[in-house]
Amino acid sequence: MFLVTAKQMQEMDRYTIEKFGIPGRVLMENAGRGAVDFFMEQCSPTSKTRVAVVAGRGNNGGDGWVMARYLMEKQIPVTVFLLSDPGRVAGDAKANMDLVEKLLPHYPDCAVKAVPDAAAFAREKARLVHHDLFVDAIFGTGLNSDVKGVFRDVIACINQTKKPVFAVDIPSGLNADTGAVCGVCITACATATFAFAKTGHVLYPGSQYTGTLRVIDIGIPEFAAKKQDIRFQVLEKQTIAPLFPPRPFDSHKGTFGHLLILAGSAGKTGAAALCANAAKRTGTGLVTLGVPESINAIVEPMVVEPMTVPLPETAASTLSSDGLDRILSLAEDRQALALGPGLGTDPDTKKLVHTLVEACSLPLIMDADAINCLAGDPVALSFRKTPTILTPHPGEMARLAGISTKDVQADRPGVAKKFAETWSVILVLKGAQTLIALPDGRIFLCPVGNPGMATGGMGDVLTGMIAGLAAQGFSLENAAIAGVFIHGLCGDILADTVGGFGFLATDMIQTIPAAIHRHLT
């Protein structure tokens, strides 16, 4: 599913009307009619259900007037509360308002009430809250400042009723581009949006206000959308499944690649083991795990299938730059390198990381302390001649980009996109709604996963999964999007089977094969 900004949607509307010749009133009619169909499906109103359509004076309100007309014709009692002086309604919205007013004499259970200011709202508040269902057609996607005045009061009042609210295009009060709440916002049970979903519908916290989302086709021609070069996409099973064709009958372990992992340090042996075991469960043919020599005996029993290699270490029991030649030799017949889980940030380890980033020709997947070793000085990335994936959580992203974690969370897509483009890397920004930003400006959002995954080791598992897919021959783009999606899918499977509390990263690893088999092949 593609996501668009408010500006992109406005441009598509304009192009369709001006260049393709479809009148705006036709688009509005299509929007209102499609919204009514979804409203009937979601809310099941009857002739005894009192519906309040709360309309602004713009085109979003116009869609509401169309909905009101169709509901009237279905014998459903409707009252339209217009949050404006009727004389200020213009264009296609006015045309549809006039149609409703002409129909009123034929539908005695229906009415129109003008609520242009706080005084009028005070008079009509009791009537408004008396309704059973609400249709929110106050603001459209153009809102980018805090809601004030009578609009704020009405939105707060509707939310306080705790009754179902159906939003037209976007819940009023929600920023269509960022998903941020503009002071106050309608909490919808369902939203009918038009032509394309907007980024604000899906980005947190907007996703919490949107409810069930359906995209209504209103007649925007395909080439109008192509002119906008839409770059933001939500991952879906049908995107991931084709990446997993049946394995050839004559396959052997060498068919599915050999992954090299450099990870672990004293006290962080589990991170290395989780990464290696996850890579194996994702289908990688062979995995070699390089660890500091003093912890090799601890790690070996934790990784039965992966092979281990003890490497030179620092006094802090982290990997030493003295092992560089041995590591580069190991890399010669491997297909990918995963670097970072539990690695530590000893100065000599940091030196090793910078050198490997520049010198290693394998596709590289960097996580955790490998990213921390680049923090504030990612210049080594500019020397990379082969693809690179970085998988930071928000704190690591903040250190990497030299900004605060709050800044990262305030604009996750923007921060990820800028870093990926600047350093020509694939950036996997972990967290609720993990994002994958590509160097060409495309962004993918992962819609699966849940709060039960908020526990140590999950990131190490993800690194192993992505790196394992890369070793099997997936492009790094496909390894990133497939790894992230399957990781979230495993979390959802566990939440459904054992509950959302207390499942572990080791549980995730055991779930990987079934997730791929049952959902993607």
State mean pLDDT over 427-433. Answer: 96
Residue 301 burial (10 A CB sphere; 0-12, 13-18, 19+): exposed
| pTM of the shown model | 0.92
Are 195 and 259 part of one and the same domain? no
Confidence of residue 188 (pLDDT cuts 50, 70, 90): very high
Q: Are 338 and 282 members of one domain?
A: yes
Q: Do 111 and 169 fall into the same domain?
A: yes
- One domain for residues 189 and 321: no
Domain final residue pick, 197, 214, 230: 230
- As a whole number, the mean pLDDT across the chain is 96
Q: DSSP labels for 384-413? A: --S-EEE---HHHHHHHHTS-HHHHHHTHH
**pLDDT level of residue 520 (50, 70, 90 thresholds):** confident
Distance CA 70, CA 126 (A): 25
pLDDT over 80 (residue 510): yes
Token digits of residue 10: 């406005």
What is the count of structural domains for the chain? 2
According to DSSP H, which parts of 50-185 are helical? Answer: 59-73, 91-103, 118-129, 149-161
What is d(CA 164, CA 214) in angstroms, rounded to the nearest whole number?
16
Instruction: Examine the domain organization and report whether 146 and 70 are in the same domain.
Output: yes
Question: Do 211 and 244 reside in the same domain of the chain?
Answer: no
Q: Tens digits of per-residue pLDDT, 37-63?
A: 999 999 999 999 999 999 999 999 999
Beta-bridge partner residues of 190: 166, 212
β-bridge partners, 313? 319
CA–CA gap between residue 336 and residue 486 (Å, rounded): 19
Among 180, 195, 230, residue at a domain's last position: 230
Mean pLDDT of 227-237: 93
Q: Do residue 67 and residue 29 come from a single domain? A: yes
The percent of residues in the chain predicted with pLDDT above 90, rounded, is 96
Q: What is the structure's pLDDT at 489?
A: 97
Q: For the segment 115-151, what is each residue's pLDDT rounded down to a tens digit?
A: 999 999 999 999 999 999 999 999 999 998 999 999 9
So what's the pLDDT on residue 518?
84
pLDDT value, residue 453: 97
Confidence of residue 223 (pLDDT cuts 50, 70, 90): confident
Instruction: Clarify whether residues 420 and 510 are in a common domain.
Output: yes
Q: Give the CATH number, domain containing residue 257.
A: 3.40.1190.20
436 sits in which H/E element: strand 435-437
The stretch 341-363 carries a mean pLDDT of 97
Residue 82: DSSP 8-state: E
Q: How high is the pLDDT of residue 386?
A: 93
- 350-363 average pLDDT score: 97
Smallest Cα–Cα separation from 194: which of 20, 353, 67, 283? 67
Same domain membership, residue 261 and residue 374: yes
pLDDT at 20 over 90: no
How high is the pLDDT of residue 227? 86
Residue type, 412: R
Which domain, by its residues, includes 199?
A: 2-230
* Cα 473 to Cα 132, 306, 435, 466, 477, distances in angstroms: 56, 19, 22, 11, 11
Please check whether residues 177 and 308 belong to one and the same domain. no
Q: Where a domain ends, among 230, 256, 281?
A: 230
Q: Do 305 and 322 fall into the same domain?
A: yes
Q: Is the pLDDT of residue 521 over 80?
A: no
| 166 and 102 in a common domain | yes
Residue 150: give its domain's CATH number.
Answer: 3.40.50.10260
